[in-house]
Amino acid sequence: MGKINYLDIHPDKYKLLLKRMLLTSLAEVHSKSIAQEKSSYCPVCHNNEISHYEIKNGFELDKCEHCGHVFCNPMPTDEQLESYYNGEMKLLENQIFRDTFEKRIPIFNARVEKIKQYMEEGKLLDVGSAVGIFVESLVRNQNSLSISCCDPSKDACSSLNKRFGDNPSINIYNCWLHEMPAENKFDGITLWDTLEHITDLSPFCEKIFELLKPGGYWFFSTPNLNSLEWSIAGRDHEQLVPPGHVNLFNKNNILILLKKFGFELIEITTPNGSMDVGYVEKLAHGSSDYDLKLGTFIKAHLTDPNFKSALSDAITHANLGGNMFVIARKSI
């Protein structure tokens, strides 16, 4: 499989439009603000050694000194989230997904191949399906799965219905995960770049556990703070975007989270190192502020295709990529 190009799935032409739309969305979100109390402990490891990390988009983020978790504190309210996920910002993001649909398919093709090693039939729930890129990859790769899609965005579910509404093996639920009927049980649950959006991890993970059959698999991806791109971008990282991203993990505290809710970790990998290289290259050539972090040597060699290819492979093989692919299993 060819390497994924960062700019193919994050086109520059949307950059200014996204910034303007985010400002509009944030104004609406903060108009609905309801004061919440700050938490005194980490939502993952429950350690109380937390410190201020950053303020982004009018939301304060803290960091756990024990496990390295970064999280919104206080979390956005339900009213704020409802405004954000059904507002103009998410409409634009969904349109970007539609425009880059085919460019994103290879990301999910690799995940589908991995999933097929663990389950080739049965019931699969995809949480946060967005416009259905992963589901389309499943369909194209021929499978015997019965697929359910769950997404709170009305616009996303409209796209899902247009694309898959006539497919009898695909069910679409316009709802949050906690609203899924408890009697539905699945052999596998997928969650792509969604865990970082969840404000209350405990009931969410408990619901995942409840909906899985004994021995069922949980496949998910989420940003990895212990990675090349996060080490370089730091507090400037474009994925530090509350109220969308409110919990940011690393490989170590993912293990803590899984154990706490009764899951066995099978593996964590960080594929698509080319995405890290593409993002870091964009940062390096956009500003000199990152020179000390990246090093002038690496910056100079990012113009060499052979170096970029080797670096992306090294990031992937060393599990230092900016996005984790996690496979876990519910105890039998």
pTM: 0.84
Compute the C-alpha angle 53/57/62, nearest 5°: 20
Contact 86, 154 (CB under 8 A): yes
> What domains are there in the chain, each with its CATH number?
6-330 (3.40.50.150)
Q: In angstroms, what CA-CA distances link 308 with 11, 279, 292?
A: 20, 12, 19
Looking from the CA of 311 toward its CB, the CA atoms found within 13 Å total: 22
- pLDDT at residue 142, rounded to an integer: 78
Alpha-carbon span 6 to 103, nearest angstrom: 10
Instruction: Give residues with Cβ within 8 angstroms of 184, minimum separation 6.
Output: 123, 125, 148, 211
Alpha-carbon span 322 to 316, nearest angstrom: 9
- What does pLDDT average to in each consecutive run of 10 residues of the chain (332 residues)? 65 79 90 86 97 96 98 94 83 85 90 92 94 94 90 90 93 93 93 94 96 96 91 91 96 95 94 86 88 81 84 88 91 77
- pLDDT at residue 297, rounded to an integer: 63
Contact 83, 28 (CB under 8 A): yes
107-166 pLDDT, tens digit each: 899 899 999 999 989 999 999 999 999 999 999 997 789 999 999 888 889 999 999 999
3-class secondary structure, 69: coil
